[in-house]
Amino acid sequence: MEDSVFPRIEIGSWAESIINWLTTNLSALFDFIKTVIGWMVDTLDSLLLAPEPVVLVIIFALLAWLFRSWQFGIATAIGFALIASMDQWANAMLTLSMVVIATIFAVAIAVPIGILAARSSAASAVVKPVLDFMQTMPAFVYLIPAIIFFSVGAVPGVVATVVFSLPPGVRLTELGIRQVDGETVEAGAAFGATPRQILRGIQIPLATPTIMAGINQVIMLALSMVVIAGFVGADGLGKEVVSSISTLDIPQGVEAGLGVVVLAVFLDRLTAALGNPGEYKGSLYRWLRGALKRN
């Protein structure tokens, strides 16, 4: 490098200095975040593990039947029964807990930022390069500061998952609101609606399918990142996959991988159904709706 025409720029050292400063001065905040997220994951995991697996298998199947179809309900029952039969139920429920908690935080951050970007060109111009940076950064890099701030375990995995899965939620929220017909918005304004009323009553309802598509992508990225978080000691299916790699245990890797596939397909199809209520409604939903109308 001494003969190079380009001077050495110590970007890595600068990043290390910033992380060290944050660790020293905001340790109380990181401890609070760790406590809250850890409590949320443990609580949800305890709730999912409290009933017998067959009870949750039936509940998941009914949800699939309610919002999609009876065929998907049967496939869901078979998939989760397979997870239980492979003795991966506890790991799958912990992975599901981490995905749900990470998705809640990611959506709570992504949707407001997407709305702001849709309503302000200046905000959009600032947000887009940040999202590009977040999407192109290798997933493993997010684990480095997460480990430094929160040690090892489920919490750094959830925090890294939130950051990794944010971009599609922001992008598709902005896209959905920007695609709302301008004449519809103008009609609402002509009737005296305030910008907030237009947002709540016109733009968000019409943009819901696109926003839900973004949430669907958030969930899929969260699931992939939670598996990677197994490298930092986060329990669940991800840790099983990592363990199978280190020991070349093919049965363990296949069983944990199948568990991830079942969770991914279930969450993907279910959120797709929720995002397109006019297209996807299971026969159970239609029967319940008809019964309510008759009564």
Chain segment 36-88, per-residue pLDDT in tens: 888 888 898 889 888 888 999 999 998 888 887 778 888 999 999 999 888 88
Residue 21 has pLDDT above 80, yes or no: yes
Q: What is the mean pLDDT of residues 223-252?
A: 79
Question: Distance (Å, rounded) from C-alpha 241 to C-alpha 245?
Answer: 6
All structural domains of the chain, each given as residue ranges with its CATH number in brackets, are 27-294 (1.10.3720.10)
Lowest-confidence pick of 25-29, 273-277, 289-293: 289-293
Residue 283 has pLDDT above 60, yes or no: no
Average pLDDT, the chain: 81
Q: What is the mean pLDDT of residues 164-168?
A: 86
What does the pLDDT read at residue 77?
92
Residue 245 has pLDDT above 80, yes or no: no
Chain segment 90-130, per-residue pLDDT in tens: 888 988 888 889 889 988 998 899 888 888 888 888 888 88
Chain segment 172-198, per-residue pLDDT in tens: 888 888 888 877 777 877 877 777 888
Residue 292 has pLDDT above 70, yes or no: no
The DSSP 8-state label assigned to residue 193 in this structure reads: -
Q: What is the mean pLDDT of residues 205-210?
A: 83
Residues sharing a CB contact under 8 Å with residue 199, sequence separation 6 or more, in sequence order? 115, 119, 177
The residue ranking higher by pLDDT, 266 or 15, is: 266
Most confident stretch, 74-88, 121-135, 144-158, 244-258: 74-88
- Which whole-number Å values give the CA distances from 20 to 148, 150, 183, 207, in the listed order? 9, 13, 52, 42
Name the pTM for this structure: 0.82
| Contact between residue 61 and residue 263 where contact means Cβ atoms under 8 Å apart | no
Residue 282 has pLDDT above 60, yes or no: no
Residue 12 has pLDDT above 80, yes or no: no
Q: In the structure, what pLDDT confidence band is assigned to residue 166 with cuts at 50, 70 and 90? A: confident
Residues sharing a CB contact under 8 Å with residue 170, sequence separation 6 or more, in sequence order? 110, 113, 114, 117, 127, 131, 214
What does the pLDDT read at residue 220?
85
* Cα angle for residues 254, 80, 93 (degrees, 5° grid): 85
Q: What is the mean pLDDT of residues 12-16?
A: 79
Residue 227 has pLDDT above 60, yes or no: yes
Question: Distance (Å, rounded) from C-alpha 187 to C-alpha 118?
Answer: 19
What does the pLDDT read at residue 78?
92
Residue 285 has pLDDT above 60, yes or no: no
Residue 210: which of 294, 94, 110, 135 has the closest Cα?
A: 110
What does the pLDDT read at residue 277?
56
Residue 278 has pLDDT above 60, yes or no: no
